[in-house]
Structure 1
Amino acid sequence: MKSARARALSWTLGMTLAAMLPQAAVSAAFQDPLDVPAAVDVASLTSRIFAVAGGPERLFAVGAQGTILASDDQGARWEQIPSPVSSDLTAITFATKADGFIVGHDSVLMRSRDAGRSWTRQFDVRTLNQAMLDHYRKLPAGEADGEAIRQWIAELEQRVASGAPLPFFDVWFADSRLGFAIGAFNLLLVTEDGGEHWTPWMERTENPRGAHLYAVRGTPGPDGEVYIAGELGLLMRFDRASRRFVAVPTPYEGTYFSMAVDGDTLVVAGLRGNAFLSRDRGRAWTRLDTRTTASIAAVSRMEGGRFALLAQNGGVLVADRDGRITPAGAPLGRSSYALAVAAGGAVAIGTDAGVKRVAVAAPTP
């Protein structure tokens, strides 16, 4: 199976999806990572970390082989949280202070109801493909998206037969009820009841080539904007009238791995240092001069209308309101995949050797 966002962020980032396959430990007898809880040991603190995010008064990080970490001091120290799987985990978010969601390889979608202290599985490849197939088979034959639905039925019948997973790459909630989980080959699930039920929406995207979907972000609230970014220069905005994701033209035809939104302002970034800023919801774009050919692995909103961008080599760049880029410190010099803004003028960076807290230089007056 072609691979996952985090694995892609191993960053040749030409997106040869073979690199995205989970790295199972070699053993005499194969153990399905869905049946094996993540190992609880000190080595987890130096695992590859593919996502870092703020939770209810804590920072959380997820990564290779089911690793889940939490920090109560804004990223200075981390502790391991038990995980029911050892599949690679690619994204984490919280819909409320109590309700958290994690997604990853093997079609894993997990939920916490206790502010991230414990996690249970909602879906994996052994249940998701069949659930999506059952959903599409029940839709009316005269549905407007009938052709797309027929194609998904055929695709999912093959996946159910073969057991082939669709990896998730990101998850995000607009409010306590409306959430989105996205992934490979146009995978899109939506919940409108706070994660109790998830509905496939793959037929509701303007994505005819079935590009991978890597980042979903928006403005909070039930009426806020929602955007999805992915391969082939793909950017889509949720149109509430039609309940579809419609394409938004962008200046780049390569892959976008990351995105951040602040009101009408959004930044999309990806391969070879390409990053673009729009202040009018994607109608006009300005190229950000990142001064690097390293791919941009993550973008995060900062105070004062600024954005932090993370390059694959661990370099942090800060874009101000006018799109001017300032390096925020020397690159870490190691593969880096995720970034979250922490308190005290710092960022927490997910790397190939755990989470690193890095001070961000104050903006030049």
Structure 2
Amino acid sequence: MPRLTTPSVSIVLALVFGASLASAEDKASLAPLAADPLARPTEVMPLADGTLVLDIARAGNRIVAVGERGHILYSDDGTAWTQAADVPLRSTLTAVAAIDGNIWAVGHDGVILHSANSGESWEIQRRDPRGQPAEGVDPDDIRQGAPLLDVLFTDLNHGIAIGAYSLLLETSDGGKHWSGGRIPTSASDAAADAEVAAESVDEQAAHASNDMQSSVFSADELKIGQESDPHLNAIARTESGGYVIVGERGAIFRSQDGGKLWERSQLPYDGSMFGIVGYEGQHVLAFGLRGHVFESNDLGVTWSERPTGSELSLMGGVPLANGGAIIVGANGIVLHRARDSEPLTTSTNTAAGVIAGVLPLDSDGTLLIASENGLSRFQPK
């Protein structure tokens, strides 16, 4: 999902006022830090579990959460949280994935971090800040410096990270080496992409236009064409081994060969999808802008819309057994269904604000919420 935030103003102010009081010798030593303050180790803060948290994941018996300023927190019960002190940067972290005690976190500046001890200490596997390209990255590539928005590992060796401007990176050695660039599609798919026009008026424009705009703009003028390099917001894998990526303006990419080649298609809605979860077979559930939820049983070849009764954007979600799901988003919305034959029901966790991630916590239905106001428990009605 696009979970883009700006660096903390407090960090900038600290650098400015700290440098103003330093000696000439100190200023010289501070120059590299002032040039790239996000390269400094994260700051341990006593209330970090109450700040912006963008994703959570299970790592064996542990839960790990990531968010702004390079904050990484872990807990063994979902109640008491410890902030990892050994995090080597302050870039905003947008997503996290785990295979037992091995954990990967991705974020702004093309960052990929890895922990081999259940989140207690971290190392940088990749960093690609604007103007300081990572090894093998063309400094003129539009993807140089782009944020990573999601990450998925299928085992200890194989992982995929995705992000802005169709950025896709892969590893086959646990992240020691990451390769890739633009998501690889076949030549025939690329030609088809160029031929496909947005055949319907973008729903956002339609809602905003009303009578006044319709008297000024024609329907053709309100059409929004497809992006050649759409942002890739979320990735899921089904039990069949197929992958589906959802992105900007209804863009869908799917792969049935382990991610070597991707086929592009389009949702029956031109708005962005911010999340997707995978189930058995080729069953996936995608969600995003203006409360839209779409479901597919053929790895995204065909889609059916699932009513939500809301126009609040949906940002994160997790699959449940039997095709069930929990989906969360703006204004504290929490959608839930126990199985795929049931409709989505709505609860609201107002105190959370915008919710970015969720995990089932207890057998009584209690959820762990990751939001703009930090980590909290919530039990939907």
Which TM bucket (shorter chain)?
A: 0.7 to 0.9
Unaligned runs of 5+ in 2: 20-33, 194-227
Pairwise mapping of residues 32-111 of structure 1 onto structure 2 (< 5 A)? 32-73=36-77, 75-82=78-85, 83-94=87-98, 96-111=99-114
Counterpart selection for 1:132 from 122, 127, 136:
136
Superposed CA deviations along residues 161-190 of structure 1, whole A, max 9, x for unmatched, are xx9611111111122322100111111101
The 8 Å contact of residues 114 and 125 in structure 2, kept in 1 or not, is answered as yes
Aligned partner letter, 1:341: P
| Correspondence for 1:316 among 317, 334, 341 | 334
Q: CA deviation at 1:331?
A: 4.2
Specify the alignment match of 2:300 in structure 1: 282
Q: TM-score, normalising length from structure 1?
A: 0.80
Greater mean alpha carbon deviation, residues 307-316 or residues 339-348: 339-348
Judging changes above 3 Å, is the alpha-carbon distance between structure 1 residues 330 and 201 closer, same or farther for their aligned structure 2 residues?
Answer: closer
Query: Bigger CA drift: 259-268 or 35-44?
Result: 35-44
Show structure 1 runs of 5+ residues with no match: 8-19, 134-155
The reply on whether 1:5 has 2:2 as its aligned counterpart is yes
Within a 5 Å distance, the mapping from 1:241-256 to structure 2 comes to 243-256=260-273
8 Å CA contact 1:109, 1:121 repeated in 2: yes
Q: CA offset at residue 76 of structure 1?
A: 2.1
Instruction: Report Cα offsets for 1:336-355 as digits up to 9, x if no partner.
Output: 22222223322211111211
In structure 2, relative to structure 1, the CA distance for the partners of 1:33 and 1:302 (3 Å cut) is farther
- Identical residues among aligned pairs (%): 29
Q: Within 5 Å, give how 1:143-292 maps onto structure 2.
A: 156-158=138-140, 165-202=145-182, 204-205=184-185, 209-219=228-238, 224-240=241-257, 243-263=260-280, 264-292=282-310
**Which letter maps to 1:265?**
H
Partner of 2:22: none
Confirm or deny: 8 A CA contact 1:174 1:224 kept in the other structure: no
C-alpha change, 1:284 and 1:46, in structure 2 (3 Å) is same
| CA shift digits 1:189-219 (9 cap, x unpaired) | 0112222221114251467610111101103
Q: Of the two, which has the highest radius of gyration?
A: 2
**Residue pair 1:98, 1:115 contacting (<8 A) in 2 also:** yes
- The TM-score, its normalising length taken from structure 2, stands at 0.77
Map Cα deviations across residues 275-324 of structure 1 (whole Å, 9 max, x no partner): 11112322332211111111001121123320101021112111331251
Task: Give yes or no for contact 2:230–2:247 (8 Å, CA) kept in 1.
Answer: yes
Distance in structure 2 (CA, Å) of the matches to 1:165 and 1:181: 14
Q: Which residue matches 2:373?
A: 353
Query: What is the aligned length?
Result: 318
Change over 3 Å in CA distance of 1:333–1:340 after alignment to 2: closer
**Residue 255 of structure 1 aligns to which amino acid in structure 2?**
S
Instruction: Provide closer, same or farther for how the CA distance between residues 303 and 128 of structure 1 changes in structure 2, counting only shifts above 3 A.
Output: farther
